Amino acid sequence: MARDPRYDILFEPVRIGPVTARNRFYQVPHCNGMGHTRPRMLAAMRGIKAEGGWAVVCTEEVEIHPSSDASPAREGRLWDDRDLPALELMTEAVHAHGSLAGIELFHGGINSANRMSRMVSLGPSSRPVRTFDPIQVRAMDRHDIRALRRWHRAAALRAKRAGFDVIYVYAAHDLSVLMHFLSRRRNERTDEYGGKLENRVRLLREIIEDTKEAVGDRSAVAVRLAVDELLGAEGITAEAEGHDIVAMLADLPDLWDVNVSDWANDSAVSRFAEEGYQERHIAFVKQLTSKPVVGVGRFTSPDAMVSQIRGGILDFIGAARPSIADPFLPRKIEEGRIDEIRECIGCNICVSGDMTQVPMRCTQNPTMGEEWRRGWHPEIIPAKRTDEAILVVGAGPAGLECARALGQRGFDVHLAEAGTELGGRVTAEARLPGLAAWARVRDHRVQRIAAMPNVQVYRDSRLSADHVREFGMPHVVIATGARWRRDGVGRWHGIAPSGLDPSRVLTPDDVLAGAAVPGPVVVFDDDHFYLGGVIAEKLRRDGLEVTLVTPAAQVSAWTVNTLEQRMIYRRLIELDVELVTGHAVTAQRDANVELACAFTGRASCRPCGSLVALTARLPVDDLYLSLTADPDSLAASGIRTVSRIGDCEAPATIAAAVHAGHRFAREFGEGSTDEVPFRRDVEMFGAG
């Protein structure tokens, strides 16, 4: 299909200092959990983005010196020449598709605890490091400042040698020493690098000048700046210092990459921030500079992108997450295939990979991180090699993705779903406050399947084992999901507490199905991800008194990995949800629940009209078990294989269910082996 001419503006080339980007799609630097330890995996992932049409593809933060050691986080590394080959893999992969490669040089200042290098941490003033490591930084003296400038210059020169076209000076996210110098909160110096704003900007200006002098002949020099920390007067704000910093440096860099700080605000989840949410903070920048400006805002709609350009807000559409969810987003717009875009849902599962030091994964894009190690391409999947028909039972994320990908391979696919609606848990959860974007997991797949004549969908079709045998497809995939359990067993209670009567315990499945929930409500969250907090929010918005009880030390403990925990706290506190940490629900009495302190066991009571428990889920695997228990009748019906995937095999995240569905489809008919099913970047000697 031809491109809609309304979107032509997105495909104009834009000059950035000495280089030119072929269009306005710009993959801003983003972490990925691969970094210097998994260079081939990383290079392939970046190369795919270039292939998908991103004109500029950047690294994550790249440490310039061992005094900026982010270990155990897996970031980029450019301490010396030995780090060049790994980075060159990436520039080659990006250049192979005609895109520009950008590198974000990084010194972490008070953010670097230097756990591996054991070097003394450095910052503008003597302060504890930003992590909770029990160490403080040394206030940098003039010698240290000169050294930092030298390290940055050396790294820039190496980056140029490695082929980078855009070289960053990084002052964002409260993660960079340059931002720490800018910040009144972090910088209490009294010399020419502290005090008034001109002085706090001095080091940033010097490093931009150093970098331009060192590499500006061939590489563009970009500045990434947090123009607002969303902290009010204590932080940098777009109205005051953020504005003034840009005004002071206006045309010095070749490009401004601007955002809000910290990372949780910059990569805000969709529950708390809508598409384009940064516009109100960064809109002023273009008025102060003649240089191109890039900004982000989880842009997936080409109309929203065009309005950013036409409205004079941005020159480049920056993206981290939308480029992860769909590396081919630009190409799809360019080729008039808008309805094929796999839109980011804003869940930050990608971030959780980096936060837990493993390769990034994505809810929407199951091939993310698998490009090199499994050879998965986000758009291409090998065609079928046999003519086989497959019945997929259950149209949640696992079943939908399995049917879609099998259909893409050309198989004859039959997808049966018990309910009227498709989507399983994402359809149910998308009705909860703030989670509407979850429905994109369903919508993308339902839309793709609708265009496939070889995939039949049957709604209102709850299949029993007899039905499946009658269907008589040679291959059956069971994707029937999971249900929350009612007996209290989970991480905390290994044995069902005798004081809980399962017939009186509600679960999220009940709440989602519209069960009556008399107040006051106690939500017992032993799940620790987002759902406990969302259920509490929903019930509170329904007008009920709600107490959230968790045995963990913090509410929604795992959401620290998706950067949303602070916002969850704020939301629940503002709604007057009572938060009780370090306690477990042990018994239900008439109008009370009994709690036990997680540390002392001391008992206490709380009023409770309804107990909603999120403890663990049980696979809905009765269909799978009854089919596989009777191999003779399977054979008699012509059924050769029965498999289970997703929550029905082992309840997990939506991302895991999508991945399971995709993996099944990729591997179907390709033979199985006991070998490790993917390649590994084996660490090289000396690259440490």
Window 624 to 653, contacts with ligand SF4 (CB under 6 A) = none
The values of phi and psi at residue 419, to 5°, are: -90, 175
Window 630 to 649, contacts with ligand ADP (CB under 6 A) = 646-648
Tell me how far, at minimum, the Cβ of 30 lies from ligand SF4, in Å: 9
Instruction: Report which of 255, 268, 257, 232 is spatially closest to residue 172, judged by C-alpha positions.
Output: 257
Residue number, 49 or 425, with CB nearest to ligand ADP = 425
Residue 555's binding partner, choosing from ligand ADP, ligand SF4, none, with beta-carbon cut-off 5 to 8 A by kind?
Answer: none
The values of phi and psi at residue 53, to 5°, are: 110, 5
Q: Does 657 bind ligand ADP (CB under 6 A)?
A: yes
Tell me how far, at minimum, the Cβ of 393 lies from ligand ADP, in Å: 5
Residue 396's binding partner, choosing from ligand ADP, ligand SF4, none, with beta-carbon cut-off 5 to 8 A by kind?
Answer: ligand ADP
Tell me how far, at minimum, the Cβ of 673 lies from ligand ADP, in Å: 25
The values of phi and psi at residue 70, to 5°, are: -90, 5
Helix axes 654-667, 397-409, angle to 10 degrees: 30
Helices (H), 459-584: 465-471, 508-512, 530-541, 565-574
**DSSP strands (E only) in 471-528:** 475-478, 482-484, 505-506, 521-525
- Token readout for 263 is 């990372």
Q: Does 324 bind ligand SF4 (CB under 6 A)?
A: yes
Burial of 495 (0-12, 13-18, 19+ CB in 10 A): exposed
Instruction: Report which of 164, 182, 163, 162 is spatially closest to residue 172, judged by C-alpha positions.
Output: 182
Tell me how far, at minimum, the Cβ of 14 lies from ligand SF4, in Å: 24
Q: Does 114 bind ligand SF4 (CB under 6 A)?
A: no
Q: Does 623 bind ligand ADP (CB under 6 A)?
A: yes
Residue with tokens 């059924």: 639
Of the candidates 56, 362, 398, 549, which one interacts with ligand SF4 according to CB under 6 A? 362
Of the candidates 39, 302, 369, 396, which one interacts with ligand ADP according to CB under 6 A? 396
Window 334 to 353, contacts with ligand SF4 (CB under 6 A) = 344-350
Of the candidates 481, 490, 532, 551, which one interacts with ligand ADP according to CB under 6 A? 481
Of the candidates 398, 500, 567, 593, which one interacts with ligand ADP according to CB under 6 A? 398
The stretch near ligand ADP (CB under 6 A) out of 16-24, 51-59, 447-455, 480-488 is 480-488
Calpha distance 544→576 (Å, rounded): 10
Those residues with Cβ within 8 angstroms of residue 94's Cβ, 6 or more apart along the chain or in another chain: 46, 47, 49, 50, 57, 100, 101
Residue number, 322 or 488, with CB nearest to ligand SF4 = 322
Residue 424's binding partner, choosing from ligand SF4, ligand ADP, none, with beta-carbon cut-off 5 to 8 A by kind?
Answer: ligand ADP
> Between the CA atoms of 415, 418, 419 and 423, what dihedral angle is there, to the nearest 10 degrees?
-50
Tell me how far, at minimum, the Cβ of 224 lies from ligand SF4, in Å: 20
Residue number, 53 or 397, with CB nearest to ligand ADP = 397
Residue 364's binding partner, choosing from ligand SF4, ligand ADP, none, with beta-carbon cut-off 5 to 8 A by kind?
Answer: ligand SF4
Window 298 to 317, contacts with ligand ADP (CB under 6 A) = none
Of the candidates 350, 393, 539, 665, which one interacts with ligand ADP according to CB under 6 A? 393
Residue number, 363 or 367, with CB nearest to ligand SF4 = 363
Of the candidates 479, 585, 612, 655, which one interacts with ligand ADP according to CB under 6 A? 479
Tell me how far, at minimum, the Cβ of 558 lies from ligand ADP, in Å: 18
Residue number, 411 or 438, with CB nearest to ligand ADP = 438
H or E element: which one contains 405?
helix 397-409
Tell me how far, at minimum, the Cβ of 593 lies from ligand SF4, in Å: 35
Q: Are 389 and 469 in contact (CB under 8 A)?
A: no
Helices (H), 524-653: 530-541, 565-574, 622-628, 631-636
Cα–Cα distance list, 143 to 122, 129, 139 (Å) = 12, 21, 11
Residue number, 131 or 628, with CB nearest to ligand ADP = 628
Of the candidates 108, 163, 397, 434, which one interacts with ligand ADP according to CB under 6 A? 397
- Number of Cβ within a 10 Å radius of residue 252: 17
Q: Does 392 bind ligand ADP (CB under 6 A)?
A: no
Residue number, 112 or 367, with CB nearest to ligand ADP = 367
415: left (phi over 0), alpha (psi -120 to 50) or beta: beta
Tell me how far, at minimum, the Cβ of 41 lies from ligand SF4, in Å: 17
Of the candidates 394, 488, 490, 508, which one interacts with ligand ADP according to CB under 6 A? 394
Residue number, 237 or 461, with CB nearest to ligand ADP = 461
Window 447 to 476, contacts with ligand ADP (CB under 6 A) = 461-463
Tell me how far, at minimum, the Cβ of 363 lies from ligand SF4, in Å: 4
The DSSP code sequence of 180-216 is: HHH-TTT----STTSSSHHHHHHHHHHHHHHHHHHHT
Site string for ligand SF4, 294-323 (x = CB under 6 A): ---------------------------x--
Calpha distance 317→293 (Å, rounded): 9
Q: Are 583 and 595 in contact (CB under 8 A)?
A: yes
* One-letter amino acid for residue 352 of the chain: S
Calpha distance 435→427 (Å, rounded): 10
* One-letter amino acid for residue 469 of the chain: R
Tell me how far, at minimum, the Cβ of 424 lies from ligand ADP, in Å: 2
Of the candidates 34, 175, 264, 416, which one interacts with ligand ADP according to CB under 6 A? 416
Tell me how far, at minimum, the Cβ of 342 lies from ligand SF4, in Å: 8
Helix axes 84-95, 142-161, angle to 10 degrees: 50
Residue 288's binding partner, choosing from ligand ADP, ligand SF4, none, with beta-carbon cut-off 5 to 8 A by kind?
Answer: none
Tell me how far, at minimum, the Cβ of 437 lies from ligand ADP, in Å: 16
Instruction: Report which of 603, 587, 568, 577 is spatially closest to residue 520, judged by C-alpha positions.
Output: 577
> Between the CA atoms of 431, 437, 439 and 442, what dihedral angle is there, to the nearest 10 degrees?
-160
Instruction: Report which of 598, 587, 593, 594 is spatially closest to residue 553, judged by C-alpha positions.
Output: 598
Q: Which residues are known catalytic residues?
A: 31, 170, 173, 266
Residue 500's binding partner, choosing from ligand SF4, ligand ADP, none, with beta-carbon cut-off 5 to 8 A by kind?
Answer: none
Residue number, 314 or 349, with CB nearest to ligand SF4 = 349
Residue number, 219 or 270, with CB nearest to ligand SF4 = 270
Residue number, 287 or 464, with CB nearest to ligand ADP = 464
Instruction: Report which of 452, 426, 428, 450 is spatially closest to residue 440, judged by C-alpha positions.
Output: 426
- Token readout for 527 is 């799940």
Q: Does 364 bind ligand SF4 (CB under 6 A)?
A: yes
Q: Does 435 bind ligand SF4 (CB under 6 A)?
A: no
Which SS3 state, helix, strand or coil, does residue 644 take?
strand
H or E element: which one contains 445?
helix 439-450
Calpha distance 201→178 (Å, rounded): 8
Partners of 476 in beta bridges = 391, 642
Calpha distance 665→630 (Å, rounded): 25
Residue 398's binding partner, choosing from ligand SF4, ligand ADP, none, with beta-carbon cut-off 5 to 8 A by kind?
Answer: ligand ADP
List of residues contacting ligand SF4 (CB under 6 A)? 321, 324-325, 344-350, 362-364
**Chain contacts with ligand ADP (rule: CB under 6 A):** 393-399, 416-419, 424-425, 461-463, 479-482, 620, 623, 646-648, 657
